[in-house]
Amino acid sequence: MIDKQVKAAEDAVADIPDGATIMIGGFGSSGIPLQLIEALRCHGASDLTVISNNAGVAEEGIASLLRDGLVKKIVCSFPRSAGSIWFEKRFEEGSVELELVPQGTLSERIRIAGAGIGGFLTPTGYGTRLAEGKETRIIDGKGYVLEMPLHADFALVRAEYADPWGNLTYNTAGRNFNPMMAAAAKTTIAEVGAVVDIGELHPEHVITPGIFVDRVVAEEKCDVAA
Amino acid sequence: MIDKQVKAAEDAVADIPDGATIMIGGFGSSGIPLQLIEALRCHGASDLTVISNNAGVAEEGIASLLRDGLVKKIVCSFPRSAGSIWFEKRFEEGSVELELVPQGTLSERIRIAGAGIGGFLTPTGYGTRLAEGKETRIIDGKGYVLEMPLHADFALVRAEYADPWGNLTYNTAGRNFNPMMAAAAKTTIAEVGAVVDIGELHPEHVITPGIFVDRVVAEEKCDVAA
Amino acid sequence: MLRLNPDEMAQRVAQDIPDGAYVNLGIGMPTKVANYVSADKQVIYHSENGILGVGPAPAPGEENPNLINAGKQYVTLLPGGCYFDNAESFGMMRGGHLDIAVLGAFQVSSRGDIANWATNNDKFPPAVGGAMDLAVGARQLFVVMRHTTRDNEPKILDECTYPLTGTGVVRRIFTDLAVLDVTTDGLQVVELFGDNTFADVQALTGTRLLPPV
Amino acid sequence: MLRLNPDEMAQRVAQDIPDGAYVNLGIGMPTKVANYVSADKQVIYHSENGILGVGPAPAPGEENPNLINAGKQYVTLLPGGCYFDNAESFGMMRGGHLDIAVLGAFQVSSRGDIANWATNNDKFPPAVGGAMDLAVGARQLFVVMRHTTRDNEPKILDECTYPLTGTGVVRRIFTDLAVLDVTTDGLQVVELFGDNTFADVQALTGTRLLPPV
């Protein structure tokens, strides 16, 4: 029987190598796979390229990867938020490279990677600094920028419920980047609030079909001493 | 209060002019807005360009529009099915123009129209007759065809439930092309099994947000003599 | 001269939001607009992270950390609202489905260019978020901002000097002094607040304005 | 010579479908493959219209006209299955998420080109459906077809003479005579059915084959 469950977050991320490109779901405090990120930090893979909407705040999530010096490059729409101290520090000292991408271009570049599309023309950013060096064209008098897919080796996503086939549902706006990222990575690891039996997720309500998910890890409900 | 309900299908389609481009949802027998199509046929707008996956079978749906000579052009992936007699007849006599589009290219061209994207690169059809005359390029050794958005003046879609804001859910595989079409037309008209009160559709289960829907018509449950 | 305060500016913008509109309010001052839309209008608010039908802040203790708006504030969902992913959310914007977006800005040019995402200070790490998508996507783009910097330097200019967010996209500018429309003939003053005169406002503007008709 | 019948051909294809695979079966003979996948394997079938986890035909009277497969036959959904729209369905294909697609064909070339959507008869109106997307998208493309036309003309050729569906995409060909792999060196015979000899099969093929190793 197909069962994509992995018991521990540390086992789910154990094969992530140095230099990997990793997508991490979430927007602000919403829909972030915090336990997978913590397992990745403990695992210690370095020289990572991280693709995510934000760069983490305080000591949590992506901020902890930046603090520990594990991130070489970040592809991001909004890295600077109140409290994004570790991103700011690493950026100022020049130890992390930033590729700044408008948010809708970021989500669509991720989506097309999952959907096997080789590029798309967007009006977003046309005539701005973020289109510099990119191919552009005018169609019916409107300017467009050619944007290319963003693929990843691994995606770490956060969902509310999974079943053993890896079908996922989300919690409210926690959906954000998670469904596109699940489809865009070679290996997708989902941290979920709970795993339910096959057939318990209504087939009309599944947001991420299990075909996009390789490993499912149920959230640890209580803190475990390290 | 926002209420997009229109009582009768005939009123919902009354402003469709001759020469309009119309998307019609459905795949085979599944998810077709049959009552809206019948209202359109009775309304009698002609010289229509129809965008749909199939071209109808027997005397029903799009086949009835072809039979009555209302269709100038059809943009379609699979016009020829068992029983698609009216498409075959109109095609053979040269009275309807056919633009044949691979199915995934058809759905993505519709999707990008709704999402404000100006074009996309797909590997589908590269090196085949259906890419002739189209711009192509090679990326990392793989061939791609540049495909452009398909917009429409009107979309006729079929859903299971709607609320007064036009939020839609579907019945199983009846979803097919309907959500992309709802977003790609200037005016979208949804035929639904039933209209429920605001708040009765679970916000995680809405498939087509009401922002894409202009008019909602509840299905006539019993046959009415003409 | 009469300078509106931020709440008064938000209140003025709210008058121009029609009943039944789908609206995206940018982070900061634009978010206040929702507080002043009159109760007889039904307006559906979009949040870029993936919400339509954003409601007011939750009661204390009722917060869901997943349910936040683009400004990362806790929100609620109105009955009739729904959730979707970020790609669909930005498809709504780019595809022209939002009636109005309201953004703050550093500068606006006479042709409707907007600069609101970066200054020329390279030490400050940049962030763009959804600003560029909103700028190109909404059917009507409203800008709400002070007419000048705190040093009384003009923010409405022949050409923006800060990096652009979008070109030729602004429809109407609401400042603390006046309301201006971007037209093919130039910037048209459509309303002067209080006793503010055209000459007053022109003097604080870095491009030639067209007087009210 | 031993010529498998369509059910035997489907049965042979089924042997090469691994446990846990995500599989799309084309219209016609490929659909039969599901009947022969052994019960100890769990295979998840994809239908292009927007289904994962396609189950068997419904009991009489239990049909839902919305719940059909790509061949417009009534189907059911297995527990664990789900529905999605057509754009997502084809994103799954093009994005390389399906392990195997099984298609019928008019012709296959020695380099793995496939022709299965149109003949050279222009009077017959064309239809392509999802064939071109499946051809380029699945990780492995299997073709199942008779080795020759009914007139014993070869269907495996140096170059296809019918309009192409995709170029260089076929991985393995299952015919009624043999199983052949498309390799960089050419078409490699990997299995001959019954007492069929390499010479027998070569004689009915329009391109040079590599003998079994």
pLDDT digits (tens, 9 = 90+) for C149-193: 999 999 999 999 999 999 999 999 999 999 999 999 999 999 999
SS3 C182: strand
* Contact A206/B at CB under 8 A: no
* Contact D81/A at CB under 8 A: yes
CB contact under 8 A, A2 and D77: no
pLDDT in tens, A23-52: 999 999 999 999 999 999 999 999 999 999
Structural domain of D170 = 6-210
| Single-letter code of the amino acid located at B124 | T
What is the reported pLDDT for D48? 97
CB contact under 8 A, A122 and B108: no
CB contact under 8 A, D82 and A114: no
CB contact under 8 A, B204 and A119: no
Contact partners of D by the rule of 3+ C-beta pairs under 8 A? A, B
From residue D190, alpha-carbon distances to D37, D179, D187, D212 in Å are: 20, 6, 9, 5
What is the reported pLDDT for A3? 98
Angle between helices A103-114 and C86-94 (to 10 degrees): 120
- When pLDDT is averaged across residues B161-178 and rounded to a whole number, the result is 98
Q: How confident is the model at residue B46 (pLDDT cuts 50, 70, 90)?
A: very high
pLDDT in tens, C35-48: 999 999 999 999 99
- Starting at the edge strand that comes first in sequence, how are the strands of the sheet with A136-139 ordered? A136-139, A142-147, A119-122, B119-122, B142-147, B136-139
- When pLDDT is averaged across residues A165-190 and rounded to a whole number, the result is 98
Of the candidates A165, A198, A209, the beta carbon closest to that of D84 is on A209
Angle between helices B103-114 and D86-94 (to 10 degrees): 120
- The dihedral sign for the CA sequence A126, A129, A131, A135: positive
Lowest pLDDT segment from A111-125, D4-18, D37-51, D121-135: D121-135
| Alpha carbon distance C184, C164 (integer Å) | 20
Higher pLDDT, B224 or D206: D206
* Contact B141/A at CB under 8 A: no
pLDDT above 60 for D191: yes
pLDDT above 60 for D165: yes
- Residues above pLDDT 90, as percent of chain D: 94
Are the beta carbons of B67 and B41 closer than 8 angstroms? no
Question: Closest-CA residue in chain D for A167?
Answer: D80
CB contact under 8 A, A128 and C72: no
What is the reported pLDDT for A137? 97
Core vs surface per residue B127-153: b (16+ CB within 10 A) or e: bbebbeeeeeeeeeeebbbbbbbbbbb
| Alpha carbon distance A122, C130 (integer Å) | 14
Of the candidates B116, B117, B204, the beta carbon closest to that of A169 is on B204
Tokens of D3: 């010529």
Residue of A107, A129, A191, A192 for testing the chain C interface, max C β-carbons within 10 Å? A107
Q: How confident is the model at residue A226 (pLDDT cuts 50, 70, 90)?
A: very low
Q: How confident is the model at residue C195 (pLDDT cuts 50, 70, 90)?
A: very high
Q: How confident is the model at residue C125 (pLDDT cuts 50, 70, 90)?
A: confident
Which helix (H) or strand (E) is A90 found in, with range? helix A85-92
pLDDT above 90 for A172: yes
Are the beta carbons of A200 and D81 closer than 8 angstroms? no
From residue B153, alpha-carbon distances to B113, B166, B180, B183, C150 in Å are: 12, 18, 14, 11, 48
- Residues above pLDDT 70, as percent of chain D: 100
Question: Closest-CA residue in chain D for A4?
Answer: D20
Name the DSSP class of D113.
-
pLDDT in tens, A115-129: 999 999 999 999 999
Torsion angle, alpha carbons of A158, A161, A166, A168, to 10 = -70
Q: Where are the domains of chain A?
A: 9-117+149-218
CB contact under 8 A, C49 and A30: yes
Q: How confident is the model at residue C69 (pLDDT cuts 50, 70, 90)?
A: very high
Q: What does the mean pLDDT of chain C come to?
A: 96
pLDDT above 70 for A224: no
Residue with tokens 């994809």: D46
| Alpha carbon distance B90, B78 (integer Å) | 15
- Domain assignment present for residue D45? The answer is yes
Are the beta carbons of C166 and C132 closer than 8 angstroms? yes
pLDDT in tens, B101-156: 999 999 999 999 999 999 999 999 999 999 999 999 999 999 999 999 999 999 99
Q: Under 8 Å CB-to-CB from C31, ≥6 apart: which residues?
A: C25, C69, C71, C73
Residue with tokens 């059909």: D68
Q: Under 8 Å CB-to-CB from D151, ≥6 apart: which residues?
A: none
**First CA to last CA distance, chain B:** 33
Q: Say how many C-beta atoms besides its own lie within 10 A of residue C60's C-beta.
A: 7
pLDDT above 80 for B89: yes
| Single-letter code of the amino acid located at D192 | L
Give the burial class of C136: count Cβ atoms within 10 A of its Cβ; 0-12 exposed, 13-18 middle, 19 or more buried: buried
What is the reported pLDDT for B226? 43
Q: Under 8 Å CB-to-CB from D28, ≥6 apart: which residues?
A: D71, D104
- Domain assignment present for residue D1? The answer is no
CB contact under 8 A, D132 and B124: yes
Count of domains observed in chain C: 1
Q: Which residues pair with D34 in a beta bridge?
A: none
Residue of D82, D88, D136, D139 for testing the chain A interface, max A β-carbons within 10 Å? D82
* Contact D125/B at CB under 8 A: yes
CB contact under 8 A, B199 and C79: yes
Question: Closest-CA residue in chain B for A105?
Answer: B117
Contact partners of B by the rule of 3+ C-beta pairs under 8 A? A, C, D
pLDDT in tens, A44-101: 999 999 999 999 999 999 999 999 999 999 999 999 888 999 999 999 999 999 999 9
Q: What class is the B9-117+149-218 domain?
A: alpha beta
Torsion angle, alpha carbons of D3, D9, D13, D14, to 10 = -130
SS3 A26: coil
Of the candidates A116, A199, A211, the beta carbon closest to that of D52 is on A211
Question: Closest-CA residue in chain D for A163?
Answer: D80
pTM of the model: 0.97
Q: Which of residues 164-183 of C touch B (CB under 8 A)?
A: none
Which helix (H) or strand (E) is A34 found in, with range? helix A34-43
**∠ Cα B178 B180 B182 (to 5°):** 65
* Contact D64/B at CB under 8 A: yes
* Contact B226/A at CB under 8 A: no
Of the candidates D52, D77, D80, the beta carbon closest to that of A163 is on D80
**∠ Cα A85 A19 A159 (to 5°):** 65
Q: Which residues pair with A55 in a beta bridge?
A: none
Of the candidates C20, C22, C95, the beta carbon closest to that of B114 is on C95
- Starting at the edge strand that comes first in sequence, how are the strands of the sheet with D140-144 ordered? D76-83, D51-55, D44-47, D22-25, D100-103, D140-144, D170-174, D178-183, D186-192, D209-210
DSSP code string of chain B: ----B-S-HHHHTTTPPTT-EEEE--BTTBS--HHHHHHHHHHT--SEEEE-SB---TTSTHHHHHHTT-EEEEEESB---TT-HHHHHHHHTT-SEEEE--HHHHHHHHHHHHTT--EEEESTTTTSGGGTTS-EEEETTEEEEEE----EEEEEEEEEEE-TT--EE--GGG-TTHHHHHHHEEEEEEEEEEE--TT-S-TTT-SB-GGG-SEEEEPP-S----
Name the DSSP class of A95.
-
| Alpha carbon distance C9, C71 (integer Å) | 19
Which helix (H) or strand (E) is D74 found in, with range? none
What is the reported pLDDT for A79? 94
Closest of D123, D119, D183, D103 to residue D153, by C-alpha: D119
Q: Under 8 Å CB-to-CB from C160, ≥6 apart: which residues?
A: C106, C107, C108, C109, C113, C114, C115
Q: How confident is the model at residue C120 (pLDDT cuts 50, 70, 90)?
A: confident
What is the reported pLDDT for D193? 98
Contact partners of C by the rule of 3+ C-beta pairs under 8 A? A, B
pLDDT above 80 for C108: yes
Are the beta carbons of A180 and C85 closer than 8 angstroms? yes
Of the candidates C46, C83, C91, the beta carbon closest to that of B204 is on C83
Q: What does the mean pLDDT of chain B come to?
A: 96
Q: Do chains C and D touch (3 or more CB pairs under 8 A)?
A: no
Closest of B4, B5, B208, B16 to residue B114, by C-alpha: B208
Distance from CA of B179 to the nearest CA of A (A): 14
Distance from CA of A1 to the nearest CA of C (A): 30
Q: What CATH number did the domain enclosing C189 receive? A: 3.40.1080.10
Tokens of A186: 């070679």
Tokens of C170: 């602004």
DSSP code string of C114-148: EE-S--S-TTSPP--TTHHHHHHHSSEEEEE--SB
Q: How confident is the model at residue A150 (pLDDT cuts 50, 70, 90)?
A: very high
- Domain assignment present for residue D86? The answer is yes
User: D159 catalytic, yes or no?
Assistant: no
pLDDT in tens, B54-63: 999 999 999 9
Are the beta carbons of C90 and A107 closer than 8 angstroms? yes
Q: Say how many C-beta atoms besides its own lie within 10 A of residue D209's C-beta.
A: 17
pLDDT in tens, D139-161: 999 999 999 999 999 999 999 99
